Amino acid sequence: MSTNFDDHSITRRLAASLFAAAVALSTAAASFAADAIVLRVGDQKGGNRSLLEISGYAKDLPYKIEWSEFPAAAPILEALNAGALDVGYTGDLSFLSIYAAGAPIKAIGGTRSDARTQAILVRQDSPIKSAADLKGKRLAGTRGGWGQFLIDATLEKAQIKLEDATFAPLGPVDAKVALVAGSIDAWAVWEPYVSFATLKDKARVIADGEGLTPTITFIVASDNAIATKRAAVQDLVQRLNKARLWSLDHTAEYARSTAELTRLPEDVLLSAYTAQRTSPIPIDEDVVKEVQAASDRSTRYGILPKTFDVSKAVDRSFTAAAAGSN
């Protein structure tokens, strides 16, 4: 499963052609009963809400957004599953994990980041120099998501049996502390944690996700919201896509504004955003095939409990509607 992430200009032009020219926002109000439609949206600090506000696409909403902030993607998925949210976002494998368990949700949009921004880190003074040195080591990452997948895929690529290393299921905050303390040997994580660890803790990258992981973040909606609030959900997806394209042309401004909101160092965010080049993507046949391959691989690793048809986990109509508005 290999994807070329180098030609960002092609990616950006494709994304722009699909998403940039939506129905004029100033006339969209006619499609909604503004006082009746409320979208309950799950977010993380410095996430989609701040992106919309910083880019200006949070203005003149023809519906109301009720934002809820969560510390990570997992509780967003739990809230979507419980019917407490209409829309949220999460990494591809975390989404598949809860979808496979029967959650009434669908992926309706998404973004892709450079796969090299998922990485396995070690301490500056670690004797580990490459993935070949991970045999017998204690490796931390998120269970059921990018962290665990990257560890397993990296070990497999290095021809190390999965059982010849110890997986420590830790979230980013606990894993960061554990790495600094030396209670784990390596940590699989994503941005901005990678930039923070390398810039502030002098951690080293010894492997990354290039050619191993899709590095897709899905916009996810509940089946109920898709059925009852479609116009508002569609509008939000289009705004998020436009805001993401804006961020590609205003990386420094985006990093500065997000740093003020999150209190994260501006240099860390600038490093992360520059490396990621996160761009909106269509939910099309190519994406479905790519995620299907990752899903099948995750089942083989034991991350997902069973194989299933990824095409049933996505709703492509939102991509089609965005393309049709051009």
In the prediction, which pLDDT does 319 show? 82
Predicted model pTM: 0.83
Residues 187 and 89 in one domain: no
Q: Are residues 193 and 128 in the same domain?
A: yes
What pLDDT is attached to residue 112?
Answer: 96
CATH code assigned at 39: 3.40.190.10
Query: What pLDDT was estimated at residue 245?
Result: 97
Does residue 40 share a domain with residue 185? no
List pLDDT tens digits, range 23-75.
444 444 444 444 589 999 999 888 999 999 999 999 999 999 999 998 888 89
262 — pLDDT class (breaks 50, 70, 90): confident
Q: What is the mean pLDDT of residues 182-196?
A: 96
Query: Closest Cα partner for 50 from 301, 220, 247, 323?
Result: 247
Give the pLDDT of residue 73: 85
Choosing from 165, 185, 208, the residue where a domain stops is 208
Q: Are residues 229 and 93 in the same domain?
A: yes
For a pLDDT cut of 90, what percent of the chain falls above it?
77
Do 184 and 241 share a domain, yes or no? no
Domain count, the chain: 2
Question: Which residue, 182, 208, 234, sits at the end of a domain?
Answer: 208
Q: Which of 208, 225, 252 delimits the end of a domain? A: 208
> Are 184 and 70 members of one domain?
no
Is the residue at 2 inside a domain? no
On whether both 129 and 102 belong to a single domain, the answer is no
> Is the domain of 39 the same as that of 149?
no
Banded model confidence at residue 322, pLDDT cuts 50, 70, 90: low
Q: Is there a single domain that holds both residue 224 and residue 314?
A: yes
Tell me phi and psi for residue 226, to 5 degrees: -60, -40
Range of the domain at 194: 119-208
